[in-house]
Structure 1
Amino acid sequence: MTHECCRRPPGSIGCTESRLHVWKGTTETYDDYVFTTPSRNPRLYGTYGVYALDCEMCYTVKGLEVTRVTIVDSNGRCVYESFVKPLHEIVDYNTLFSGITAEDIIRGPTNSLAEVQRDLMSFISADTILIGHGLENDLRALKIVHYKIVDTAFTFPHYRGLPFRRSLKDLISEILRDDIQCSSKGHDSREDATACMRLMLWRVRIEFPGYL
């Protein structure tokens, strides 16, 4: 076991310092969450869309908030991406993991969370399948309630069972023999979303030969 940030063993002295403490908690009341709605154009055949979603977060005075959202389709093509201006004051950009810097938010373009929600609702319905890794965190950050999800953290469970989870990086390495999250500049939400889609396409090909 090692710390992901610096690869030092447990019990090591912290590798970074900050002038303020951060936390992952929430003080939400959930009153401002939005629900995906049924499609206005029901389809007899085909699907209502299958997309992979990933968000990057920063620490604010109210806990974790989304700073970037990326959605890709089944071909790995990016169909939506935006930097997001948090609702509250940023304490730490979490750049080591999020890859987001102050310059990204300042330079923009950025959207508010409400604008991002509106954009997503324009092509994601209650019947759309969303794929991701630890999707509860992404949907909570986006303040969206959606029920049709495929979470690679559960589709490829840890051998020790819950609450343990395998990292997306490890799954890609073992199953697809590829490497992700190698940049020293932090994670890339487009790379992670694409990785989730690749994992599920692999799973479908294995369990349903000839379907894809």
Structure 2
Amino acid sequence: MATASQTNGSQTQNGGKRNGQQKRTGKQSATQLSAQHGYSPSKKGKTKVQLPAPTRSAYPRKLEFASSNWKKLQEALQMNDKPKAADRSGQPKCEPVGAAKQWPKPVTKKPDVWFDGVDPMLLEPQVGIAAKSKLTVSNGLVKQGSFDKPTRTIGMDCEMVGVGPEGRESVLARVSIVNAMGHCIYDKFVKPREQVMDYRTSVSGVRPKDLENAEEFSVVQKEVSDLLEGRILVGHAVHHDLKVLFLSHPRKKIRDTSAYRPFRAMFGGRTPSLKRLSERILGVKVQEGEHSSIQDAQAAMRCYTLYKRQWEEDIRVGRQRVALQRTQAAVQQS
């Protein structure tokens, strides 16, 4: 059996071998580890050592604190910010590739007149054949993107020329019809049956060349009559237009802007001209110089559509009042 001294000697020898192996493997001490990873070896729990804050660049708060190099840099930047010179054509020079484009902001124009209080109204670009009207985009007599076919309500206006002695008698020369949205659905020149003595171009806008290949009166009369059938007719002093067409229309289906009482009340009870009525209600100037039957029909229709609800209510109440009066009269007679 080995003695205790031998056993202790062997353990000491083995421990020395282990320590030698640990030293040879390069195991680091606690001090070395704390220095490498930023921990304090004197405290338990490995308290982290605060590292120095990184260096940051800062702009000088005042110009007098800036160095000469900083001032030169600011001068160079200001020179680059100057607007580019334009070439001879007045257009700015091209920007370098990669530069951010500055797109111009879209310009939105506020319309002068609104249709039904919601949609902006734009004017119909197509005007007529020869007599050019004064229609402009800002007039607001046609509803954009609306129905351009005949509607239950249509507006009509005619232009006349003079025949007979000194051209005093008026005959039909042009007839234009628009729908409730202001779109022109019918526009034709009419060939007079008699020799024209006065074309009244300054007012009617009709010229001799407009009537050279014009339609026959009988054809126009038939086409207009078919359009009026069963529809509400709007116009300004529309009885004059029906007279030159030799047509009649039921009174209950006529809306005459020259005879509507609220319109007349705006002018002290007098009959307003279409020019003054349009300017007062719509803010649109019509009949400046040569007239256009398309524009006049559109203006009358627009005046009607603005007051349509009140107008139709007045008619309904009036009819009820008349019916009541007739009933009372019949009862009294019996």
Normalising by structure 2, what TM-score?
0.44
Amino acid at match of 1:90: V
Q: CA deviation at 1:128?
A: 1.2
The within-5 A match list for 1:88-107 is 88-106=194-212
Number of aligned residue pairs: 156
1:57, distance to aligned residue in structure 2 (A): 0.3
Distance 1:82 1:206, change over 3 A: same
- Structure 2 counterparts to residues 1-212 of structure 1, below 5 A: 49-61=152-164, 63-106=169-212, 108=213, 110-125=214-229, 127-147=230-250, 148-155=253-260, 156-157=263-264, 159-161=267-269, 164-182=270-288, 184=289, 186-204=290-308
Judge conservation of contact 1:133–1:153 (CA < 8 Å) in 2: yes
Query: Aligned partner of 1:116: which letter?
Result: V
Q: Distance in 2 between matches of 1:117 and 1:67?
A: 12
In 2, Cα distance between equivalents of 1:97 and 1:176? 22
Which secondary structure does the structure 1 equivalent of 2:259 belong to? helix
CA distance in 2, matches of 1:75, 1:105: 29
CA contact (8 A) 2:158 2:241 kept: yes
CA distance in 2, matches of 1:137, 1:92: 18
Structure 2: segments with no counterpart, 5+ residues? 1-149, 314-334
SS at match of 2:188: strand
| 1:204 to partner: Cα distance | 1.7
Q: Is the 8 A contact 2:155 2:178 kept in 1?
A: yes
Q: Structure 2 CA distance, aligned partners of 1:123 and 1:208?
A: 22
Output the CA distance in 2 between the equivalents of 1:74 and 1:204. 11
Q: Which residue type is aligned with residue 249 of structure 2? A: H
Task: Please list the CA deviations of residues 116-156 of structure 1 after superposition, one character each: whole Å capped at 9, or x if unmatched.
Answer: 1111233321x311100011110001110112211000012
Higher relative contact order (CA 8 A, sep 6+): 1
Higher CA-based Rg = 2
By how many angstroms is 1:49 displaced? 2.0
Q: Which amino acid aligns with 1:146?
A: H
Distance in 1 of aligned mates of 2:304 and 2:162: 30
Q: Which residue of 2 aligns with 1:7?
A: none
Whichever structure has more helix as a proportion of its residues is 2
Could you tell me whether the CA contact under 8 Å between 1:49 and 1:124 is conserved in 2?
Answer: no
Code of the residue aligned with 2:217 in structure 1: it is L
Whole-angstrom CA distance in 1 between matches of 2:312 and 2:233: 19
| Residue pair 2:225, 2:247 contacting (<8 A) in 1 also | no
Alpha-carbon distance between aligned partners in 2 of 1:196 and 1:86, rounded to the nearest angstrom: 26
Superposed CA deviations along residues 55-112 of structure 1, whole A, max 9, x for unmatched, are 0000011710010000000011111110001111111001111000111112x3x112
How high is the TM-score relative to the length of structure 1? 0.68
> Given that residues 52 and 130 in structure 1 are in contact (C-alpha distance below 8 angstroms), is that contact kept between their aligned partners in structure 2?
yes
Q: Is the 8 A contact 1:66 1:141 kept in 2?
A: yes
**Distance change >3 Å, CA 208–CA 160, structure 1 → 2:** closer
Identity %: 33
Per-residue CA shift, 1:168-188, capped at 9, x if unaligned? 010011111111122x3x100
Could you list the per-position Cα deviations for residues 13-54 of structure 1 after superposition, in whole angstroms to 9, with x for gaps in the alignment? Answer: xxxxxxxxxxxxxxxxxxxxxxxxxxxxxxxxxx97210000
The whole-number CA distance in structure 2 between the counterparts of 1:87 and 1:173 is 36
Which is further off, 110-119 or 152-161? 152-161
Superposition RMSD on alpha carbons, in Å? 2.2
Structure 1 86/203 Cα, relative in aligned 2: closer, same or farther at 3 Å?
A: same
